[in-house]
Structure 1
Amino acid sequence: MQQFFLNGRYPAPADAQAVTEILRTAAPDETGWTLDALRERLGRPRNKLEVLTGLLVREGWLTEGGDAFALADPPPGDVASLMAALARYEAKAGQDRRRLEQMVFYAQSGLCRWRVMLEAFDEAAGFDRCHGCDNCERFDAHERESSSRADQATPDTPAKVAEAAIVFQPGDVVRVKRYGGGVVVEASADSVTVAFGQEKRSFLPQYVKRAKPPTAKAA
């Protein structure tokens, strides 16, 4: 699904215009203008043409007979009405794209999953952690472990324990597997928020590594 959006598989007005124009010409054989014939002639992905022809059939611009398509006679409206239908579809595509981004963020986020889900539906969570999802359980386990280490520390080591609790500071340049390089914008003992350009994501500290400084070139 993610690749469907990223690869531009949703049809655009130019795709609709190309299909309607080609349907005004003679089909390559007696089978008529099938999806495969349209794909071969127009050089567009079959799944994009499948989505587009389905839309045009629903809007009354095409008729479907067997596997072949033809222009409706008469058409249901002028070109402006067709563009309006495509604009509605483009708005729906944008909405679906935002939903997909929310799904991906939910799956990859290091934040409380219940909080992420509620905020996706514009609901105020009223809490930072639910203490029941997998992320909260990892946070809680990390805090218990940190607290246990602090309790076992000798009087000579409190400063070292405090220093080890918060590993990163805002402005640190770091790397995260699968995401690449970023900059720390917020950090605590159990969470590190990293900015990757305009996008921000939160991780457990153990998944964040300091970026290696660039190697100085020899004079």
Structure 2
Amino acid sequence: MNKNLLLAAVSLVALSATAPALAADLAARPYTKAPAMVAAIYDWSGFYIGINGGGGSSSAKWDLVGFGRDGSHDATGGTVGGQIGYRMQSGQFVFGVEGQGNWADFSGSHVGALTGNTNSTKIDSFGLITGQVGYAWNNVLLYVKGGAAVVGTKYDTSFGGVSLASANDTRWGGTVGAGLEFGFAPNWSIGAEYNHIFLGGNDRNLTGPAGVLAVNVKQDVDMGLVRLNYKFGGPMLGRY
């Protein structure tokens, strides 16, 4: 047999024997399932502290004790303050407690129908102690709140710019409200809130150069606030 033909035949046999091994080496690697993605959710649990500011209006109705209605007015103005609280999240429900304190300048006046005097009220401070119940969609929280309110109020009756009688008062009442808050960065949230304060009627003796004037002043307060909060602790937790 020709020597070259013999070498070719041997090479062909060797190639046939190694072909299955080469094919196995070149086969695609088995598919490995990628790890499940982690969906980050905002966690509202923890202590927080913040600032707030906005405006409000107090409806004040003046009665002369024993004589009747002497008129009414709206006392309006701005307010700024702060809040501190704690929230606990369970699923999408959020529960919390909060204390809030504000300086205010809700002031107004009217000319009395019975006396002809200028009757003035001014709310210069208030505090709220409330509980909260909310529902969260990740980093968006909608909540309602309610509890107790304490308000610092000044009363004055004057004529021709001269004060005749005045009094300062600290009044307790109730409050309800609602808010919407958005977590825009790790540990930071911003929101808007509405509050109504129920003060009811209150008998006061105004004193001054004119002697003693017994009045009953009924007040309610409505206000809107913008709030910025910082929450202590990690803002996110993972969910598979």
What range describes the TM-score normalised by the shorter chain of this pair? under 0.3
Please identify which structure carries the higher strand content: 2
Please identify which structure carries the higher helix content: 1
Larger RCO (CA within 8 A; separation ≥ 6): 2
**TM-score w.r.t. structure 2 length?**
0.18
**TM-score w.r.t. structure 1 length?**
0.19
Bigger Rg, structure 1 or 2: 2
